[in-house]
Structure 1
């Protein structure tokens, strides 16, 4: 006897309201929930387990009786072909997702990653540098479907620069890995990250620490500093004043170039550099010596603006770039770089004074390597650093011929009082 089918009618489907399951025949059912919602389900027996499975076909508001019957017929055809209708639908969705992912490029993912993390970075410049690194060194990956990138693709980017530009190559690898991890989290990739280091690329590339040759930044010997400062002060222009302020405060070139008047309290003799402009990401207070205060008070100030830059730029740059003081320095001392004056300061503090090491390190805003000590440090040693910076400024102003003698006397004085 033939199985009874098409038991329901469109009218009956509309009239039914009591919660339950109503069969149309051959596995098709109308389900009415306790809340009164109606939906279509195709019930069949799993050929492997023998258990019933229900494949949802959609709600009545979207799927008519005839459409539901056709969907049930399609499901029965899948069963007759030896496949499971639910598993087949999952496979189709997975294939569709893979097709969509194949159209998503690495460059698109890099843009989305940068946008997602921009708020956590110190400044807009960091995001631009992040993408510029990929544009310069990972250009072959940018148009590639992110789902198809594998280890050989990553190696083609890294191997040409791994030994010659090791630090840059390491940064490129880290950024590729971050973008691919983001893509995996977004389901654009379904395989392991080919840019990961541990347990993967560390087997294919030499350790960066064995390749990097650390070259100290060229620094002026502190014994030559007084003569240099005398020449620098004879120079006019904002570039000379920016370099002079950097030396007197032992700060980084970028910290001086981006300085705003609002960061300075000249009455208190304090310069507070905000965390977003510091390498460690934390605000840093700089004690201003009398020489530094004299320099600052002599700088031109546009209409008394507190929010203006100390060293305004030109054209598209709102502030002076670090290249301007460096260019001046190259004219005066071709073999020295601006950042090297921090080394000059550090060597002077170690050789010519008795200040404790942590005072000099705090003056340079260096992070403590000892995490336990860092956790218990509750002061920035400002008062002691103020004394150190005042001594440093006096040293910078010393008559060149008297540098060694005065420096040695100052060290003896600190040693005696320690």
Structure 2
């Protein structure tokens, strides 16, 4: 029979030197002293395993408390319970409960920097979470991610879907990613309520890239707006002028480089996959014919040392996505302040935005100037026809587009294009 340890008093325990000392009262109870640190241990055999079970620090856990906890632990072992495994299970349950308690707003905060690493620098990295903060977080932010249901998603998406279908679908995809990340980390289980197939698809119409209309300039306002823009200095105003003349996307212009420009050949070429171009790597390069007005603008631009960017920010790097929009708003506000009507979309009355300039070009080309639909589609970098037609397409109609873009530049200045004069029977 093992020797029974002497039952130490509280004073004797307090005086113990460094080492591991039996304190008596309960078999296997020890005080471990390491430097200034002291803690309680219970040595016991659990099944076939020899365990050292921590019972807390001394003096926070007194001698009397330690003996009480040791006796209780011994009784658990006699009943066939492994205290160490039980403690692990309780800790795991606590961690799981804490994870299940994650709020949607916190889930967005956790996932946003992870998503940012997967995105190219620029507006998508900077603004990825904007629609989440604007539309989803106000409704879902204080909800536990594990409690968010399909009905909650419908409450967020329904008010947006008809008016801003593309924005609503992008928002749905972002919520889906946030909830997927939360589920992967144990914060929720079950189906993702933002899933499209077999779920939200039955509630909403299919998404088309052309569904959402951006506020566009009215053709009657174009010359007045262009004159106001032409009086403004600065790189942002120059970029907006070039974006409007070329009818390209703002991102393609903001990251435009001099290496893409062939001034003698009068063409700007953007390769597939180039940042913010929205040209798939599976597609071919996109070419833009440069008119006299475009070339004059480019030749007048100051160049930045050690940078190939055509339009650059004062502190270096590309212009932000907000820069061109700010110029548009400034022009609108200034016109209103001067007693004008501003520059607003004919249908919605909203102030026009840079992307809406592409719509203005499309309306002008197809309805006013009488240019072929496919010609203006090529200028907008849209895919033409069905997949079979796209497979056999071998031209981007660059030469034919040169005349169209020259006429468009004349329209911006308020001149009547030659093609339009012909359509009007020669009347200017």
Could you tell me the TM-score, scaled by structure 1's length? 0.60
- Match of 1:335? 344
Q: Deviations over 1:335-378 (max 9, x none)?
A: 3534343234334443577865444322211245734544x267
- Match of 1:193? 192
SS at match of 2:288: strand
Structure 1 pair 209–315 and aligned structure 2 pair: CA distance change class (3 A): same
Which 5+ residue runs of structure 2 have no aligned equivalent? 1-44, 54-72, 346-351
CA drift of 1:271 comes to: 2.7
Question: Contact (CA 8 Å) 2:103, 2:145: kept in 1 or not?
Answer: yes
Please give the alpha-carbon distance, in whole angstroms, between the structure 2 residues aligned to 1:261 and 1:387.
Answer: 24
- Match of 2:409? 396
Question: Contact (CA 8 Å) 2:269, 2:286: kept in 1 or not?
Answer: yes
- Match of 2:134? 136
Q: Deviations over 1:34-75 (max 9, x none)?
A: xxxxxxx999xxxxxxxxxxxxx7xxxxx64888xxx99968
Which 5+ residue runs of structure 1 have no aligned equivalent? 1-40, 44-56, 58-62, 413-418
Range with bigger deviation, 269-278 or 304-313: 304-313
SS at match of 2:189: coil
1:235 aligns with 2:231: yes
- Match of 1:207? 204
Please give the alpha-carbon distance, in whole angstroms, between the structure 1 residues aligned to 2:326 and 2:408.
Answer: 26
SS at match of 1:285: strand
Please give the alpha-carbon distance, in whole angstroms, between the structure 2 residues aligned to 1:301 and 1:390.
Answer: 29
SS at match of 2:191: coil
Structure 1 pair 103–295 and aligned structure 2 pair: CA distance change class (3 A): same
Could you tell me the TM-score, scaled by structure 2's length? 0.59
CA drift of 1:402 comes to: 7.1
Bigger fraction of residues in helix: 1
CA drift of 1:297 comes to: 0.5
Please give the alpha-carbon distance, in whole angstroms, between the structure 2 residues aligned to 1:401 and 1:90.
Answer: 78
- Match of 1:118? 116
Structure 1 pair 326–401 and aligned structure 2 pair: CA distance change class (3 A): closer
Please give the alpha-carbon distance, in whole angstroms, between the structure 2 residues aligned to 1:107 and 1:96.
Answer: 21
Q: Aligned Cα RMSD in Å?
A: 5.1
Task: Indicate which of 224, 245, 266 corresponds to 1:269.
Answer: 266
**Number of positions where the alignment pairs a residue of Structure 1 with one of Structure 2:** 342
Task: Indicate which of 359, 362, 380 corresponds to 2:378.
Answer: 362
Question: Contact (CA 8 Å) 1:106, 1:143: kept in 2 or not?
Answer: yes
Structure 1 pair 403–132 and aligned structure 2 pair: CA distance change class (3 A): closer
- Match of 1:290? 292
- Match of 1:247? 244
Task: Indicate which of 321, 325, 329 corresponds to 2:324.
Answer: 321
Please give the alpha-carbon distance, in whole angstroms, between the structure 2 residues aligned to 1:186 and 1:279.
Answer: 32
